[in-house]
Amino acid sequence: MEYRTDAAIEILSRTPATLNAILRDVPDEWLMSDEGEGTWRAYDVIGHLIHGEETDWMVRAKIILDHGTDRPFDPYDRFAQFELSKGKTANELLDTFERLRRKNLEELAQIATPDKLQLRGAHPALGEVTLAELLAAWVVHDLDHIGQIVRVMSKQYTEAVGPWKAYLSILNFKGMT
């Protein structure tokens, strides 16, 4: 499937509602559990998505539009959420994410016109990337983290499902943080 901004917005606009449906007002044992040392909790993922809204996707899109490959993207801190989310409830984070995403998608609809999608930027590790690749990665990034949240939550019942574990592939998946 080729990248299209309207199709991307269809998915990106649903992520806040999806996270709200899964995470809002659930007990901390669901939000604060992980898959072991060095893995993220659902709570951490929300903070990571917020940090991306503030410093990654749209910031980088604007760098491409304003500077092309002349100005590389700033490196992204994949772990900033651990400090930035301190003292905030999951519901506060969900509200912040929803507000930031709505604002970013309003901007995206204005700037990501078909004639600009092949403009290039400079990623600090990946080299040259197009605006379309950046925006497609944003969509997949959301879906990846939704899957991660569901997997982390599912694994809390690994023992409780007993012999059904053999049929539940989500419990046997070894993924990244």
pLDDT 10s per residue in the chain (177 long)? 999 999 999 999 999 999 999 999 999 999 999 998 999 999 999 999 999 999 999 999 999 999 999 999 999 988 889 888 999 999 999 999 999 999 999 999 999 899 999 999 999 999 999 999 999 999 999 999 999 999 999 999 999 999 999 999 999 877 655
> Under a CB-based contact definition with an 8 Å cutoff, are residues 154 and 168 in contact?
yes
DSSP bridge partners of 127: 123
How many domains in the chain?
A: 1
- Assigned domain for 177 exists: no
- Assigned domain for 68 exists: yes
The answer, as to whether pTM is greater than 0.85, is yes
Please write the tens of the pLDDT for every residue from 41-71.
999 999 999 999 999 999 999 999 999 999 9
Question: Structural domain of residue 152, as residue ranges?
Answer: 5-171
The CA-based angle 119-112-142, given to 5 degrees, is 100
- Assigned domain for 67 exists: yes
Containing 128, the helix (H) or strand (E) segment is strand 127-130
Least Cα distance to 31 among 174, 149, 151 occurs for 149
CATH number assigned to the domain comprising residue 83? 1.20.120.450
- Assigned domain for 55 exists: yes
- Assigned domain for 32 exists: yes
